[in-house]
Amino acid sequence: MDLSHIEHTLAQHGAWQGKYREIMLLGKALPAMPDALKTDAALVKGCESKVWLHLDLDEQQQRLVIIADSDTRIVKGLLAIILACYNNQLPQEAGKLDAYELFDKLGLIKHLSPSRGNGVRAIVERIHQQLQVLQ
């Protein structure tokens, strides 16, 4: 799922119920994380819901591979958006990404600004922390 497609889909909805419907559909399309990977170490602190996240680089191209899951439909959809933004990037490119700009661009800032209880800020901080460890 690429970002421009997500942007186009979300822009079609004026009402928030419609945007959330699309966000939840994105979450449904995100593969479920196997329970064995839902470890305490993978839990992202600072989220109202549970979020698990693993980050690695693929062996050949050294590009980001993030897998993530949540126990809520909406946050799982937000994770799908964040992953669409970060996955397959080179670590140095990914380090320059700004989630606030991303959510602004998608028209999601009003309800989903990274400071809200959805944990977007905590999720993005976790990704950037792990990126630094990789570099």
**How many residues belong to the site for another protein (CB under 8 A)?**
17
Sequence-separated (6 or more) residues with CB below 8 Å from residue 21: 13
> Considering only residues 13, 54, 63, 111, which one is a binding residue for another protein as defined by CB under 8 A?
111
Among the listed ranges 33-41, 52-60, 68-76, 98-106, the one in contact with another protein (CB under 8 A) is 68-76
* Among 63, 61, 59, 105, CA closest to 81: 105
Distance CA 84, CA 40 (A): 24
- Please provide the size of the chain in residues: 135
Would you give the binding string for another protein spanning residues 15-44, x where CB under 8 A is met?
xxx--xx--x--------------------
Q: Which stretches of the chain bind another protein, using CB under 8 A?
A: 15-17, 20-21, 24, 48-49, 71-75, 110-111, 117-118
